[in-house]
Every structure is written in C-alpha cells, then in structure tokens.
Amino acid sequence: MPKNELEKALEQVRQITKPQIKKRPLQLTTKVKIVPTKEQEEILWVLSENCRLIHYFANKERKEWWDKNKHLPKKKRDKENKSTYNKQSAQLPKLKEKYSRYKQNYSKTLQDILKQLEADYKSFHALRKSGDNNAQPPKYKSKEYFTTMHYNQSGFKIEGTKITLSHFYPTRETKEVDLTFEMQGKFTFTGKKVKQVTIYRVHKTKEFYLSIIYEQNTPEYFDNGIYQTIDLGLINLVAAVNSHEGKTITIKNKRVDKYWQPKIEEVQKKRDHYKKYSNRWKWYNDKMWKMIRKQANQRKDFQHKVSKKVVENTRANIIIIGDLNVKEMSKSKKNDKKKDKSLHRNMQSSGSLGRFARFLTYKAQLAGKKVIRISERGTSKRCCYCMKKENRKLSERTIQCDCGFVIDRDTSGTANLMQRLLALLALSQKRLVVRQRLLKDFREKFFSDTQPNVKRKFLLNRSCADSQGITS
C-alpha cells in the first residue's frame, strides 16, 4: 500500500472509535406524486410561465451584454458579470409593481430563476475560460416545459397528507383556487421537519411531482466492536463477511437489463422504421422510454431493498466498503476484451454501484451505524488465504490459487478487506497484541467456515498484516 493511501486509510479507520461530537440530523429527499385538478393545473402553468418570462428577460439582458462585450478582457467581463445577479434581483420588486402578474408567484420561485441563471452563466464562463470556444450561453426555455419551482419554509404548509403551496391573487376578480394537494403514497411527514418543497413535472408522462427535503434525527452511533466488510460488484452486488463469526453472505445482482434490453431494442428498431417525429415514430418512442424508465425503477427498487436488508441484518455498527475507483475498473485489458465489455456496459448504463453505496450510507446512518470506505486496492487480486497477488481477469469468478486454496473471487475480496481493516484498526491503536489476536481470530473463524479442510497451522502462523503491505 502506498504511504499516502495508508495514511488516508488510517484516518478513515480512526473514525470508527470516534464518538459523534455534534449530532446533525440527516437530510433526506423523497418524491411524492400529486394530481392537480384542471383549475389547479392552469394556475401552476401561469406560475411556470411567469418564471419562464423572468428567465427570458434576464437571459436576454445577459446575452446582449455578452454579444457586445465578449471581446473585453476577461477581468473586466468577470467584474461586470458578478454584479448582474444583484442588479437583476433588485429589479424584481419594481417589476412586480409594474406587472401584477408576477405578484402571483411565491417570490422565492422568481428569485431562484435569476440565481439558477447566474449559476448557468458561471459554468458557461468557466468553460470559455478553459478554452472551450464552442460553449454557448444558456438557452431560452421553451413554453412547453413546466418550470421547476422551489418553496422554502414560508412557502408551503403540510397538514397530514395535504400540502399547500403559496401563491397570490393579483386582483379581486380572479377566482381563488388553492394549491392544496393530496400527497400520494404511504409516506408521512408527521413529526418531521420539512425544509424545502420543489414542484416539477415529468414532461414525458405529464405527471406532477413534489420533491421534499426533510430532516430526520438518527440514533447515536457507538463502536460495538463488530464489523462487516462488503465487496460491491456487478455480478454479486454484495459479498460480505463479518468480523466476529467470519460468516459470509453474497447477494447476486438482479440483472434487470437481461429482461428489458432486448425488448427495448426491439421497440427502438420498429421506431426507426418510421420518419422521425411522425405519429407512429412518437408512439414507439414513448413506448421505448416507458420501458427504459421501468428498467431504471426496478434497478433502483432492488438496490433500496438490498441496502436495507444489509443494514438490518448485521449486528455490526461499522460497515466497511471498498473505496471504489470506477475509472480503474473500466480500463479494459486487450486480452479479456469481450467478456469485460459487457460488464462495463452494464456498469456504465447503471452507474449503479456509487448509488448503491449512497443508499447504504444513509440507511446505515438512520440505524445508528456508520459506513466507512477504505482503499480496496489489490484486494480482489490476492488469494485471501496465502495473500499471494496474481493478475486475474475480471471474468475469472473463482480464485484457484497455487497454494491449493479455492474461493469465490468476491468472497475472497471481502475477506481481504476485512483483514486489511483489522490490521489498520490495530495499527491505529498501536496495540500489537490486539492486532495479532483480532486477525488470528478472524482468520480462524473465516477459514473454518469456508474450507474446513485447509491446514490451519500454516495460515495461523502467517502475519497477514505484513503480507498486506502494512507494517508498523
């Protein structure tokens, strides 16, 4: 293990024994469907259109300035740009006086448009700065798309399963329609502190949703001396081992794409027979996107279920996952191209392991547990028994080591991660005796569980910490 990596891993491991100093509630986001009435939908579109108009005028002003001044030196341009947001946002009250239509909006929704535009211009200028001369200023928004709007604490009210979003009536003549919606689904916000509500519309399905950010208190964490390491992968989503019994579990990944991909490709083929944007083409196109969304949802559901199960079914308060370097994984080697290619395609199409790790992390926190990442460099290449390192193809699922030991590759990987963890833990506490014992105990339990016929003497006498490249 390189020195800087070792130091980083040690720092991570020190987190295990650290009690929480300042408890901060966890911020979670949930998605809720709402079904507006026809009258409500009309109002929502008016509010959205107001946002779009603000965006249009603010963007126009910025664009014109850019066209005139793009030849100025960068410093001058930056200075001017920085003050644009403040200037534009100061104009909002005057605009509301002049055109009463803008009074209908909860004022943060309009402010946000200017803020977002500012951010978009920032990234545009950054692109230009980095030498990308093809970068274009942000585009105008189409009338067809509903503008996503944010409401903070003074802009909404939640009572039971009902939520009301603020809006105002510019004249007495306008018919008053409340933006009160029944929140669909089982989720309840009773007793939770809701921080922000965002309304958006999925263009393809014409459905409205709320994205709700709320705070959740979590139980206090403590180090109970029981650990679990997990090797995350695409074939086995989870291969895990615990420290106190050496017990392993593996959970196979659900390859939803095996069911959906052929169906999606078939519909796509049919679609491409027709002229682009013709009615038939659109029909097949909608059908295809429906399938793609279903596939993505199934994948996500499965990850939610598995991450929940993993957290609930372990006594460990610490869950260790490898610090995955996805880039390293996707570098395919020539001689193993074919099989690896399909692996990588699956990985890229889902981007799924990173998300799974995020699910695991927040679910653990909700249960008073911690997820910690340590470097998994080399853990999948070593035989977990004799620690011999060998270059293995990604498609090789079983390790058959020269020492005679045979084991599933992912299980070996997670056992190696556990051995690394225990070595690091001992090292961080500078207690040599503990270090020997923890590792020996684990190895004894683990190997008697997986392969009772191996020569115990041999493995117990080895200092595995040294062969992991960790020395004190």
Considering only 57-65, 120-128, 378-386, 420-428, which stretch makes contact with Zn ion by CB under 5 A? 378-386
Q: How far is the CB of 412 from Zn ion (least distance, A)?
A: 9
Nearer to Zn ion, 115 or 388 (CB): 388
Helices (H), 228-351: 256-271, 279-312, 326-330, 337-350
The reply on whether position 454 binds Zn ion by CB under 5 A is no
Considering only 139-147, 265-273, 382-390, 416-424, which stretch makes contact with Zn ion by CB under 5 A? 382-390
**Residue 444 DSSP class:** H
Q: How far is the CB of 408 from Zn ion (least distance, A)?
A: 14
Considering only 72-80, 98-106, 208-216, 385-393, which stretch makes contact with Zn ion by CB under 5 A? 385-393
Nearer to Zn ion, 146 or 385 (CB): 385
CB-based contact 114:56 (threshold 8 Å): no
Q: How far is the CB of 394 from Zn ion (least distance, A)?
A: 19
Q: How far is the CB of 320 from Zn ion (least distance, A)?
A: 23
- Report 281-300 residues binding Zn ion (CB under 5 A): none
Considering only 113-121, 177-185, 275-283, 383-391, which stretch makes contact with Zn ion by CB under 5 A? 383-391
Nearer to Zn ion, 91 or 463 (CB): 463
Q: How far is the CB of 407 from Zn ion (least distance, A)?
A: 9
CB-based contact 25:218 (threshold 8 Å): yes
Cβ-based neighbours of 199, under 8 Å, separated by 6 or more? 34, 44, 148, 149, 151, 165, 208, 209, 210
- Apex 82 CA angle, 84 and 75, nearest 5: 125
Nearer to Zn ion, 324 or 386 (CB): 386
Q: How far is the CB of 380 from Zn ion (least distance, A)?
A: 14
Q: How far is the CB of 324 from Zn ion (least distance, A)?
A: 24
Q: How far is the CB of 382 from Zn ion (least distance, A)?
A: 8
Q: How many residues bind Zn ion (CB under 5 A)?
A: 7
Nearer to Zn ion, 221 or 405 (CB): 405
**What is the C-alpha separation between 107 and 151, in angstroms, rounded?**
9
Q: How far is the CB of 418 from Zn ion (least distance, A)?
A: 16
DSSP labels for 67-123? HHHTTS-HHHHHHHHHHHHHHHHHHHHHHHHH-GGGGGS-HHHHHHHHHHHHHHHHH
The reply on whether position 135 binds Zn ion by CB under 5 A is no
Residue 200's φ and ψ, nearest 5 degrees, are -145, 165
Q: How far is the CB of 431 from Zn ion (least distance, A)?
A: 28
Q: Identify any residues that bridge with 52 across adjacent strands, giving them in sequence order.
A: none
The reply on whether position 383 binds Zn ion by CB under 5 A is yes
CB-based contact 439:246 (threshold 8 Å): no
Q: 8: burial class by Cβ within 10 Å (0-12, 13-18, 19+)?
A: middle
Cβ-based neighbours of 47, under 8 Å, separated by 6 or more? 104, 105, 109, 147, 149, 167
**What is the C-alpha separation between 312 and 306, in angstroms, rounded?**
10
Q: Between 255 and 274, how does the x/- string for binding to Zn ion read (CB under 5 A)?
A: --------------------
The reply on whether position 386 binds Zn ion by CB under 5 A is yes
Nearer to Zn ion, 234 or 454 (CB): 454
Q: How far is the CB of 403 from Zn ion (least distance, A)?
A: 3
Length of the chain: 472
**Residue 25 DSSP class:** P
Nearer to Zn ion, 365 or 450 (CB): 450
Cβ-based neighbours of 92, under 8 Å, separated by 6 or more? 54, 102, 107, 110, 111, 114
**Residue 469 DSSP class:** T
Q: Between 397 and 436, how does the x/- string for binding to Zn ion read (CB under 5 A)?
A: ----x-x-x-------------------------------
Nearer to Zn ion, 204 or 456 (CB): 456
The reply on whether position 446 binds Zn ion by CB under 5 A is no
Q: How far is the CB of 384 from Zn ion (least distance, A)?
A: 8
Q: Which of 121, 200, 221, 385 binds Zn ion (CB under 5 A)?
A: 385
- Each as own residue / partner, the long-range contacts of residues 330-334 (CB below 8 Å, 24 or more positions apart, any chain) are 332/394, 333/393
Nearer to Zn ion, 302 or 447 (CB): 447
Nearer to Zn ion, 385 or 442 (CB): 385
- Each as own residue / partner, the long-range contacts of residues 347-354 (CB below 8 Å, 24 or more positions apart, any chain) are 347/234, 349/257, 350/257, 350/299, 352/234, 352/299, 352/303, 353/232, 353/233, 353/234, 353/324, 353/326, 354/324, 354/326
Q: Which of 186, 195, 244 is nearest to 25 (CA)?
A: 195
Structure tokens at 172: 């007495």
> Which residues contribute to the site for Zn ion (CB under 5 A)?
383, 385-386, 388, 401, 403, 405
